[in-house]
């Protein structure tokens, strides 16, 4: 009987931070691979990382809390506009801009979370769409701030640490985005495995049970929404800085729907699933859209149907099964 | 000392239907009370009223003399009012250990922690190990709830109840749906509950009721029609007519 409990025990006594160190190394390796193997595609990879932030953010509320939303791009785009507006008004330090993105994303997250978390099911979904449309409408109408349908362009963020300027090959943007992504991922891993995160997963399973344990659901979800907003805001800020433009597409309904598709593709409720989903979807779009610009959406549709049919919980399911199998085989030999 | 839980003239109507009518009772420390009654008598409704899931149309609840009628579910739980569910309600996708650990962490106010790993809290682990060991579930600690047999899931309801260190524990049909040969395990677990807490159990299995309860309350059509010892209840004419029927007769002839 005690044997079965041992894994838990061992987990508690591991060398501290070794899991984090391994993930940081994996990230560094993947980053180096991208940087040196695809020097001409860094702009695309940077855009991918920006979207990965948004998918991770969506995973926090949808995958971990079970909140249905189709307006998540509002957090991403809202922060991108805030960063763009600040940049045009003379704030050029990249870290200051990142902080602006993070804070504005968090505020947007807290505000929309405070509304959305009050409801469940379809009303919640409709409300999320409404908030998304509201932000998109404001982005279009508040011309003095957002540039209206033209958006904001010509953003010129300063040099990172005063040394590394944003170049046309997106080298700096890629390295900065990748580093921020790695740090964010490690922090989020802590959050979802914390007592707070575990309770969120519990609430997603059965909210009445959680309340009967004495847990208040609403404040918890609002806080999680705030964190998700901060993460989405980082993505928005990095995208705005690296591309130099902020447009209406960043707050669009299509963007919200697309990231939900990416999350389902990778596997909601897993941080790795969010990353895998965004990478696969963006790569697929990048390659297939280049090969066949007219029918690529059809192919994406087909891919999704296949995945939903054969791996309803996303690619993370079969992938972890495969890893476990390889690992156990290694152990046997 | 005042009673742990007191219900005063509780009524509840749903639409035009009066489900609960003027129910009053008291639970003191160490009480072992069974609430019985025919199907549709309003037993689960009464439990939902006590826990705050629904609000009574009339009447008030008190815990240790303090009015809790306006308190939310979580506020009542924090005061020590804990329930189990008739149909198991557990965190199905989490492990056995995590289910109990969450109850412990919530009670200790640790679920606000954002950056510490949930599995890194030794005091929590010590506590869930003890509770699961006590119920014979320790070997299943790292299994997910969905992998458990139904009887084991029923025991998990008790495990979570224990982890919350209740003053008043409401058990809604703890043996419902459990194979008959496993009910002794449930009863054993119930009999080993801390002696100083008050336990109110709804149960249809009369064997279980008579083995557990020192006091029996009978609810029929939303009204408490009887309150007394287990021996008295089978003798009471009105109760027999309303509910026990064949069981009391069978007992007498046996």
Who among B103, B113, B125 is closest to A196 (CB)?
A: B113
A1, B139: Cβ pair inside 8 Å? Answer: yes
Mean pLDDT, chain B, whole residue set: 90
B105 interfacial to chain A (CB closer than 8 Å): yes
Helix %, strand %, coil % for chain B, to 5? 40, 25, 35
Confirm if B163 and B100 have CB atoms less than 8 A apart: yes
Q: Is the pLDDT assigned to residue B104 strictly greater than 50?
A: yes
pLDDT band at A3 (very low <50, low <70, confident <90, very high): very low
B119, A208: Cβ pair inside 8 Å? Answer: no
A213 interfacial to chain B (CB closer than 8 Å): yes
Give me the residues of A, 168-187, that contact B with CB < 8 A: 187
- Chain A positions touching B82 (Cβ under 8 A) are 212
Q: Is the pLDDT assigned to residue A331 strictly greater than 70?
A: no
pLDDT band at B6 (very low <50, low <70, confident <90, very high): very high
pLDDT in tens, B13-28: 988 889 999 999 999 9
Question: What is the reported pLDDT for A5?
Answer: 41
Identify from B95, B117, B160, B171 which residue to disrupt to test chain A contact, counting A C-beta atoms within 10 A and taking the largest count.
Answer: B117
- Chain B positions touching A205 (Cβ under 8 A) are 90-94
Q: Which residue has the higher pLDDT, B178 or A57?
A: A57
Identify from A3, A15, A16, A198 which residue to disrupt to test chain B contact, counting B C-beta atoms within 10 A and taking the largest count.
Answer: A198
Q: Is the pLDDT assigned to residue A95 strictly greater than 90?
A: yes
B98 interfacial to chain A (CB closer than 8 Å): yes
- ipTM of this complex prediction, to 2 decimal places: 0.90
> What is the average pLDDT across A196-224?
96
A212, B51: Cβ pair inside 8 Å? Answer: yes
Query: What number of other Cβ atoms are within 10 A of residue A156's Cβ?
Result: 11
At residue B27, the 3 state secondary structure works out as: strand
Alpha carbon of B166: minimum distance to chain A alpha carbons (Å): 10
Question: What is the reported pLDDT for A6?
Answer: 40
> What is the average pLDDT across A11-24?
77
- Chain A positions touching B116 (Cβ under 8 A) are 190, 194-195
Identify from B91, B139, B166, B167 which residue to disrupt to test chain A contact, counting A C-beta atoms within 10 A and taking the largest count.
Answer: B91
pLDDT in tens, B141-161: 999 999 999 999 999 999 999
Q: Could you tell me what percent of chain A has a pLDDT over 90?
A: 77
Task: Indicate the Cα dihedral angle A190, A270, A251, A80, nearest 10°.
Answer: 30
Who among A4, A191, A214 is closest to B139 (CB)?
A: A4
A194, B139: Cβ pair inside 8 Å? Answer: no
B74 interfacial to chain A (CB closer than 8 Å): yes
> What is the average pLDDT across A295-309?
85
Question: What is the reported pLDDT for A4?
Answer: 40
Alpha carbon of A66: minimum distance to chain B alpha carbons (Å): 13
Q: Which residue has the higher pLDDT, B116 or A130?
A: A130
Q: Which residue has the higher pLDDT, A299 or B6?
A: B6
pTM: 0.91
Identify from A211, A214, A220 which residue to disrupt to test chain B contact, counting B C-beta atoms within 10 A and taking the largest count.
Answer: A214
Question: What is the reported pLDDT for B2?
Answer: 66
Question: What is the reported pLDDT for B245?
Answer: 56
pLDDT in tens, B65-88: 999 999 999 999 999 999 999 889
Confirm if B163 and B128 have CB atoms less than 8 A apart: yes
Integer Cα distance of A165 and A155 in angstroms: 13
Confirm if A74 and A136 have CB atoms less than 8 A apart: yes
Question: What is the reported pLDDT for B249?
Answer: 52
A5, B78: Cβ pair inside 8 Å? Answer: no
Q: Is the pLDDT assigned to residue A155 strictly greater than 50?
A: yes
- Chain B positions touching A2 (Cβ under 8 A) are 138
Integer Cα distance of B16 and A120 in angstroms: 27
Is it true that domain B5-253 has CATH number 3.40.50.300? yes
pLDDT in tens, A34-48: 999 999 999 999 999
Question: What is the reported pLDDT for B167?
Answer: 96
Residues 6+ apart with CB under 8 A from A280: A262, A265, A266, A315
Question: On the CB side of A84, how many CA atoms lie within 13 Å of its CA?
Answer: 29
Question: What is the reported pLDDT for B244?
Answer: 58
Q: Which pairs from A323-327 meet CB under 8 Å and 24+ separation? A: none
pLDDT band at B254 (very low <50, low <70, confident <90, very high): very low
Q: Domain boundaries in chain A?
A: 1-37, 42-253
A214, B89: Cβ pair inside 8 Å? Answer: no
Residues 6+ apart with CB under 8 A from B182: B151
- Chain B positions touching A190 (Cβ under 8 A) are 114-117
Q: Is the pLDDT assigned to residue A134 strictly greater than 70?
A: yes
- Chain A positions touching B105 (Cβ under 8 A) are 195, 198-199
**Taking CA atoms, what residue in B is nearest to A6?**
B142
Q: Is the pLDDT assigned to residue B238 strictly greater than 80?
A: no
> What is the average pLDDT across A156-169?
89
At residue B62, the 3 state secondary structure works out as: strand
Q: Domain boundaries in chain B?
A: 5-253
Q: Is the pLDDT assigned to residue A7 strictly greater than 90?
A: no
Who among B82, B107, B141 is closest to A8 (CB)?
A: B141
Question: What is the reported pLDDT for B247?
Answer: 54
B78, A187: Cβ pair inside 8 Å? Answer: no
Question: What is the reported pLDDT for A25?
Answer: 94
Question: What is the reported pLDDT for A11?
Answer: 46
Helix %, strand %, coil % for chain A, to 5? 80, 0, 20
B118, A197: Cβ pair inside 8 Å? Answer: yes
Q: What is the DSSP letter of B148?
A: S
């Amino acid at each position: 009987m005690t044997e079965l409990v041992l894994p838990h025990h061992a987990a508690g006594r591991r060398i501290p931070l070794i899991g984090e160190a391994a993930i940081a190394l994996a990230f560094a390796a993947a980053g180096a691979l991208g940087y040196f193997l695809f020097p001409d595609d860094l702009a695309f990879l940077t855009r991918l990382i920006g979207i990965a932030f948004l998918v991770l953010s969506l995973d926090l509320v949808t995958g971990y809390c079970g909140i249905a939303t189709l307006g998540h791009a509002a957090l991403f785009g809202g922060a991108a506009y805030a960063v763009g507006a600040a940049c045009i008004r003379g704030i050029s330090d990249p870290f200051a801009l990142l902080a602006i993105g993070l804070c504005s994303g968090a505020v947007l997250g807290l505000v929309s979370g405070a509304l959305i978390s009050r409801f469940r099911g379809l009303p919640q979904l409709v409300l999320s769409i409404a908030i998304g449309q509201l932000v998109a409408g404001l982005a279009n109408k508040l011309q003095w701030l957002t540039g209206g349908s033209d958006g904001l362009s010509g953003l010129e963020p300063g040099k990172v640490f005063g040394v590394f300027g944003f170049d046309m090959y997106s080298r700096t943007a890629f390295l900065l985005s990748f580093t921020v992504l790695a740090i964010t991922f490690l922090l989020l891993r802590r959050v979802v495995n914390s007592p707070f995160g575990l309770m969120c997963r519990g609430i997603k399973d059965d909210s009445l049970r959680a309340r009967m344990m004495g847990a208040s659901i609403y404040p918890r979800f609002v806080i999680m929404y705030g964190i998700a907003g901060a993460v989405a805001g980082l993505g928005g800020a990095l995208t705005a800085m690296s591309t130099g433009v902020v447009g209406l597409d960043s707050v669009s309904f299509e963007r919200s729907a697309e990231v939900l598709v990416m999350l389902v593709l990778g596997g909601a409720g897993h941080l790795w699933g969010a990353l895998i989903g965004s990478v696969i979807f963006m790569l697929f779009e990048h390659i297939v859209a280049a090969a066949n610009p007219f029918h690529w959406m059809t192919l994406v549709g087909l891919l999704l149907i296949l995945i939903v049919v054969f791996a309803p919980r996303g690619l993370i399911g079969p992938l972890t099964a495969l890893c476990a199998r390889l690992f156990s085989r290694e152990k046997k030999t | 000392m005042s009673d742990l839980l007191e219900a005063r003239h509780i009524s509840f109507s749903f639409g035009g239907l009066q489900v609960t009518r003027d129910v009053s009772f008291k639970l003191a420390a160490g009480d072992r009370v069974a609430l019985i009654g025919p199907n549709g008598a309003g037993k689960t409704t009464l439990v939902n009223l006590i826990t705050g899931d629904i609000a009574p149309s009339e009447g008030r609840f008190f815990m240790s003399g303090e009015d809790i009628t306006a308190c939310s579910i979580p506020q009542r739980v924090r005061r020590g009012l804990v329930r189990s569910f008739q149909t198991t309600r557990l965190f199905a996708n989490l492990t056995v250990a995590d289910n109990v650990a969450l109850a412990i962490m919530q009670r200790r106010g640790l679920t606000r922690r954002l950056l510490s790993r949930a599995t890194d809290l030794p005091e929590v682990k010590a506590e869930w190990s003890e509770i699961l060991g006590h119920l014979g579930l320790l070997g299943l600690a790292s299994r997910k709830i969905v992998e458990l047999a139904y009887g084991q899931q029923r025991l998990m309801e008790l495990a979570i109840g224990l982890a919350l260190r209740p003053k008043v524990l409401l058990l809604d049909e703890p043996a419902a749906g459990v194979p008959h040969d496993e009910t002794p395990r449930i009863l054993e677990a119930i009999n080993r509950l801390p002696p100083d807490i008050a336990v109110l159990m709804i149960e249809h299995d009369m064997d279980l009721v008579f083995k557990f309860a020192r006091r029996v309350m009978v609810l029929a059509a939303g009204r408490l029609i009887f309150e007394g010892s287990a021996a008295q209840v089978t003798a009471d004419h009105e109760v027999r007519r309303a509910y026990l029927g064949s069981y009391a007769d069978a007992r007498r002839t046996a």
